[in-house]
Amino acid sequence: MQRYSVQLILIALGGLITYLAYEEAIDLYIISVLMFMGVNIIMSTSLNLVNGNMGEFSCGHAGFMCVGAYVSSVLGVLLFSKNKILAAPLLNPEMAVYFFPFIIIAGGLAAALTGLLVAIPSYRTRGDYLAIITIAANYIIISAIENMNIIGGSRGFMGMKRVVNSMEDVLYLPWMVIWVFVFTIGTVWLLRRYTSSTFGKGVNAICQDEVAAEIMSVNTNKMKTITFMLSSGLAGVAGGLFAYIIGYVNPGSFNILKSTEAMVMVYLGGMGSLSGAVIAAVLFTLLTEGLRFADVLLHYLWFVPDSWHYSQVWKWVIIPLILIILMQFRPEGIMGNRELSDLFPGLKRFYKFK
């Protein structure tokens, strides 16, 4: 029982959400919030691997998300939908239902390769200098895409909804809900297995003392390459899912603000804590959506004129404010560098997550 409790709970949860979405028992808005929660979990856990476990300071995570979003969008649209570039789809649109996960993974692989843009400089620099390189990488990616007119440039790229629709035509299921759920669980599971192995603990050794790690037989360059590529690859997966949820991408939505969101989640959860990153992503999504409610509420109560819209403006007042308060009063984040099972050892009796 203890061995399979997590799997059973996850299957039940996934089944429940899928069923509710299928029956349209819950609002489309709530479903999309749940999906963004999944994307945010992937973003925060993958960034946590670099910023928390490896102790580097990567501030360009959204850049890799952008690569994943564009590669899987363009690939999906070219293969399975009418498009401006090739006119007719390359494959039968009905095939999309089988190929969708591979399209997302392809976006992840492309993002992982882009991760080399940061991994290779990290052999020689770390700390502040590497942070600057990551910001530069973020801008390079965005600017490159803005200048590619064939995929829409700064106007953005769309058509992903048609791919999703053709998946639903084959078999009517809430496909996006299912795949976001599967990829989110897969990400957490992958990271858990990586960081709990002796191999992956080399990443923590690099964080704590890189010189000692190298002398004590850890191939630090190899570990950094694997870790950066894994982290950016997962960000790419998040980007691909994000693009298909919204059905539209433009480079502007992957700028430094998006990277900051991921960083806030990591620091909120606690550096190096996987469960902290998951909890923080859930809270952060609820908070940003809660702001929307506050906006609606304020308008409803006639506190503010109709023409004023707070949520998007105040978001960037409130998020930095959270950071300031966090750094003042709980710099280690919600969980510190501990996991849920360290805080509540009793939980270990009920689950095993490996």
- Single out the segment in contact with another protein by CB under 8 A; choices: 19-27, 93-101, 190-198, 286-294: 190-198
Shortest Å distance, C-beta 20 to another protein: 31
Rule CB under 8 A: say whether 197 interacts with another protein: yes
Q: Report which residue type is found at 175.
A: W
Q: Looking only at residues 49 through 68 of this chain, which bind another protein when binding is defined by CB under 8 A?
A: none
The rounded distance, in Å, linking the Cα atoms of 276 and 99 is: 33
The rounded distance, in Å, linking the Cα atoms of 269 and 115 is: 24
Rule CB under 8 A: say whether 193 interacts with another protein: yes
Computed over its alpha carbons, how large is the radius of gyration of the chain? Answer: 21
Cβ burial, residue 216 (10 Å; 0-12/13-18/19+): exposed
Q: Looking only at residues 243 through 272 of this chain, which bind another protein when binding is defined by CB under 8 A?
A: none
> Judged by CB under 8 A, how many residues of this single chain contact another protein?
29
Rounded (to 5) percent helix, strand, coil in the chain:
75, 0, 25
Among 11, 13, 215, 297, binds another protein (CB under 8 A): 215
Rule CB under 8 A: say whether 209 interacts with another protein: yes
Rule CB under 8 A: say whether 337 interacts with another protein: yes
Shortest Å distance, C-beta 308 to another protein: 47
Rule CB under 8 A: say whether 200 interacts with another protein: yes
Six-digit token pair at 2? 């203890």
Which DSSP letter does residue 247 get?
S
Rule CB under 8 A: say whether 143 interacts with another protein: no
Six-digit token pair at 300? 């409803």
Phi, psi of 349 (to 5 degrees): -70, -25
Cβ burial, residue 75 (10 Å; 0-12/13-18/19+): buried
Six-digit token pair at 228? 């950066």
Among 23, 124, 208, 307, binds another protein (CB under 8 A): 208
Rule CB under 8 A: say whether 27 interacts with another protein: no
By beta-carbon proximity to another protein, the closer residue of 146 and 214 is: 214
Rule CB under 8 A: say whether 352 interacts with another protein: no
> Collapsing DSSP states into helix, strand and coil, what is residue 88?
coil
Confirm if 49 and 203 have CB atoms less than 8 A apart.
Answer: yes
Rule CB under 8 A: say whether 313 interacts with another protein: no
By beta-carbon proximity to another protein, the closer residue of 77 and 207 is: 207
The rounded distance, in Å, linking the Cα atoms of 142 and 148 is: 10
Among 8, 9, 212, 347, binds another protein (CB under 8 A): 212
- Single out the segment in contact with another protein by CB under 8 A; choices: 10-18, 86-94, 132-140, 206-214: 206-214
Rule CB under 8 A: say whether 221 interacts with another protein: yes
Among 129, 219, 312, 344, binds another protein (CB under 8 A): 219
Confirm if 100 and 166 have CB atoms less than 8 A apart.
Answer: no
- Single out the segment in contact with another protein by CB under 8 A; choices: 75-83, 97-105, 193-201, 278-286: 193-201
Rule CB under 8 A: say whether 233 interacts with another protein: no
Rule CB under 8 A: say whether 354 interacts with another protein: yes
Rule CB under 8 A: say whether 202 interacts with another protein: yes
Which DSSP letter does residue 232 get?
H
Among 98, 199, 293, 308, binds another protein (CB under 8 A): 199
Q: Where is 158: in which H helix or E strand?
A: strand 157-158
Confirm if 137 and 131 have CB atoms less than 8 A apart.
Answer: no
Rule CB under 8 A: say whether 211 interacts with another protein: yes
Confirm if 80 and 95 have CB atoms less than 8 A apart.
Answer: yes
Binding positions for another protein, rule: CB under 8 A = 190, 193-194, 197-202, 204-205, 207-209, 211-221, 226, 230, 337, 354
